[in-house]
Amino acid sequence: MRRLVLILGDQLSAGLSALRAADPARDVVVMAEVEAEGRYVPHHPQKIALILSAMRHFAEALRAAGWTVAYSRLDDADNSQSITGELLRRAEALGAAQVLATRPGEWRLITALEDLPLPVTLLPDDRFLCAEAEFAAWAEGRKQLRMEWFYREMRRKTGLLMEDGQPAGGQWNYDHDNRKPAKPDLFRPRPPRFAPDAITEEVLALVEARFSGHFGRLHPFGWAVTRADALRALEWFIDSALPRFGDEQDAMLADDPTLSHSLLSPYLNIGLLSPLEVCTAAEAAYAAGKAPLNAVEGFIRQIIGWREFVRGIYMLHGPDYAGQNALGASRALPPLYWGEKTDMACLAHAVGQTRDLAYAHHIQRLMVTGNFALLAGISPQALHEWYLSVYVDAFEWVEAPNTIGMSQFADGGVLGSKPYAASGAYIDRQSDYCGGCRYKVAQKTGPGACPFNLLYWDFLLRHRARFAGNPRMAQMYRTWDKMDEARKADTLSEAAVFLRRLDAGERV
């Protein structure tokens, strides 16, 4: 009997488990561009365009490989505008009575497929290096789930950067070498951009017509939408940027939004590249003496460490994970996150870059937009939806643990041992943002004091009962206790004034 083979927009891999289990001689691949996926959060126009164009190119590749593809375009008159609706429509039209699918990466889609009034076989997504069951077995019985210990197991499993059973260079982690500030450099290589072909131009016109009200600029669009171009992007990174990646991975520059980052996460997350081929390419560069160990180890850790770890956390903790709010944060997301004017230079740069590129690197997300939300007590769900909306690489399995867990500590310490709270000094040390800011990062209180300095202490005092006993935070509370009483009072009073202005919608 004929079966439908569902391929989602983040499953664009020729070796996908659902395709391997299907028979091109009798089964039909179903791919669908639908309004429901474009609007469940207001996705950045570049993100929508990337996925739709990559889907269309992938469908062409499948047809060339002998598959029958039933493809629903967004503007098709008969499009039901939901994944499940298109499966039911295709099943009726083609006389199919069963669906094969690779398990989606988001709980809302897993639930939708499980509720479909058709038999659905969900196959494991084995594009990840750590299966869900494997992660659950690793996690069972552990009092704390920490990425570092998981990462070491993944190094042993894959053999990446291992020499006779030991980590290359004698250390597992070279993070201490990867916290250097960066300097402007006119000769720093820039990541490649790919000119839209006819398919992409058609998609861009459609996205502009349908999603122009979403936050973010659609043009210029230069993302890779085919595996061939994604491989070119990987080759560029390995040859041109990886050697400097480690030194610059935690740095931020106002006029250089990408520094030496790879910009490969969108291609990994939609399936155009595989994690192992990317890591193997980086390892080969180290073996050939083309990239230093601190850079290669830091890059590989982001993929087989963080990427696999946060996916494991998301799947292990189920559909309720994204709704957690251990710190009780409830403030509305300020308009500055949607591009309203702010006098805080770091936030203006991070949000402006996000608007223009649908991209910001991990330190901009964690220590600027995320840190401000944490200190100000912004709802973690509001921030979660914002990140999911505005970044080209954001899918809930990877974005929710990074936001709910790592950035906002809303999971109460499941993912990390302490909140990533920092004053303005961290941003100043890692960036050139502060020099041109109206606020003065060295000023702790008074007119012109950096809001991060005020909110940092306000946050610690609001949550003292929870964090004072944390060994990694005890020194901060001792520092507060030794402060002059007048400075303490000024800090908390000025923080309260700032937050009232934020709530009132004033420019801050």
% helix / strand / coil in the chain, to the nearest 5? 55, 5, 40
Give the contacts of 18 (CB within 8 A, at least 6 positions apart).
5, 6, 7, 11, 100, 101, 102, 123
Q: In this structure, what DSSP letter does residue 158 have?
A: H
pLDDT of res. 180 = 83
Locate 205 and state its tokens.
């016109």
**Beta-carbon count within 10 A of 452 CB:** 27
Kindly report the CATH class assigned to 132-196+227-308. mainly alpha
Please list the pLDDT of the chain residue by residue as tens digits (508 residues): 799 999 999 999 999 999 999 999 999 999 999 999 999 999 999 999 999 999 999 999 999 999 999 999 999 999 999 999 999 999 999 999 999 999 999 999 999 999 999 999 999 999 999 999 999 999 999 989 999 999 999 999 999 999 999 999 999 998 887 778 888 888 899 999 999 999 999 999 999 999 999 999 999 999 999 999 999 999 999 999 999 999 999 999 999 999 999 999 999 999 999 999 999 999 999 999 999 999 999 999 999 999 999 999 999 999 999 999 999 999 999 999 999 999 999 999 999 999 999 999 999 999 999 999 999 999 999 999 999 999 999 999 999 999 999 999 999 999 989 999 999 999 999 999 999 899 999 999 999 999 999 999 999 999 999 999 999 999 999 999 999 999 999 999 999 999 999 999 999 9
Please name the CATH architecture into which domain 335-503 falls: Orthogonal Bundle (1.10)
Distance CA 402, CA 380 (A): 11
pTM score above 0.75:
yes
Residue 443: strand, helix, or coil? coil
Distance CA 312, CA 140 (A): 12
Distance CA 476, CA 283 (A): 39
Domain layout of the chain by residue ranges: 4-123, 132-196+227-308, 335-503
Please name the CATH architecture into which domain 4-123 falls: 3-Layer(aba) Sandwich (3.40)
Stretch (H or E) spanning 479? helix 474-482
